[in-house]
Every structure is written in C-alpha cells, then in structure tokens.
Structure 1
C-alpha cells in the first residue's frame, strides 16, 4: 500500500491515472496532456507500473498503458474506517441542523 500512496502523492501521476480511467493511452498521448517532457512522463509511468496502478501492453512498436484499479483496493479498504467516522459526524451534523430548524419554527 505504501508504494501506491507514494505514487498517488504526485499530481502528474494522479493526472495520468485520471486519463487512463477514461481510456488506455500511449506515453505520447499522456505526454501531450501533461506540462512535462516525455522522459518525465516515462518516469511517472514506471512509478505507476511498479506500484501496480497501470499495466502496459505491447502492440507492435507502441506501448498502451491502462489503469489497473485493483491496486487501489487496499487503499480503499484502509480508508473505510475513516469513511465510517465521517459518516457518523455528518449524521450528527444532520441531526443538529434538523434540531435548529425545529427550534426556529
């Protein structure tokens, strides 16, 4: 999970994942969407591959990168306890708002 969180810490890598969420892409297509040079994109793609967040398929001379969302499942499970905490707090806020509306009537 640490490798995934470290990969997600960079804005450019998050942008790459957002693009790949919608469709597979080549490194060139990803480079065109980012304000960094192609070698930088390649380094980001290597980090994402090593973290298990993207996969690469070779088609002749092209490499097609795709999102591998299963790598995010461990992070999602870890965040679940925090979601429960926020849901409790939001439920309490909702209750207080409803009490305030009743008191104004």
Structure 2
C-alpha cells in the first residue's frame, strides 16, 4: 500500500515539474524598439579568422600502407634525433665540465 502512495506522489511531483517547465518563459525578450548592435570590427575579425578554413582542402587518406609506414618512420626518426640531441646537450654541458675542472684546481691549490 505504501508503494502505491509513493508512486502517486512521484507522479504528481513529475506532473507539476513538467507543468512549471512548460509555463515558464523560455527567454527574456529584448526591450521594445531596441535593435541589437553589431560591431563591424568583430564581424571582420571573425571573417578573417575563419577565411583559411574556406581555402583548405579536406585531408585525404594515404595512398597506400607503405606511404603511411614511411611517414611514421620519418616522424619517428625525427623524434629520435631531436631527443638524442637534447640528451647529448644535457650530458655534454661544457660549462659544468669547466666548473668541475676549476673546482679541482682550487681544491689542489688549497692542499
């Protein structure tokens, strides 16, 4: 019996909620006699920003699996070379080596 009442209460709440949503205003209307102002600079900037999209051609698929694999190979080799150069630059820092040499010389003079 209690189950029937809770279902009825839920149904009544749902009905009132739907009625409120239907009766509520959907938007606030602008004042009478006012026209929206459009800034020409904003329109020009938007058009200039979106114009490259009109000139671009859609991206095409690779002609073959071999072309796709070649592009992945070139990209992978490029990344390996870039990371390798960064690693060599980090390990072979001449300033750090010179500081260690000077520190060794200073320690030798103090003894």
TM-score (structure 1 length as normaliser): 0.31
The structure with the larger Rg is 2
By percentage of residues, which structure has more strand?
1
TM-score (structure 2 length as normaliser): 0.30
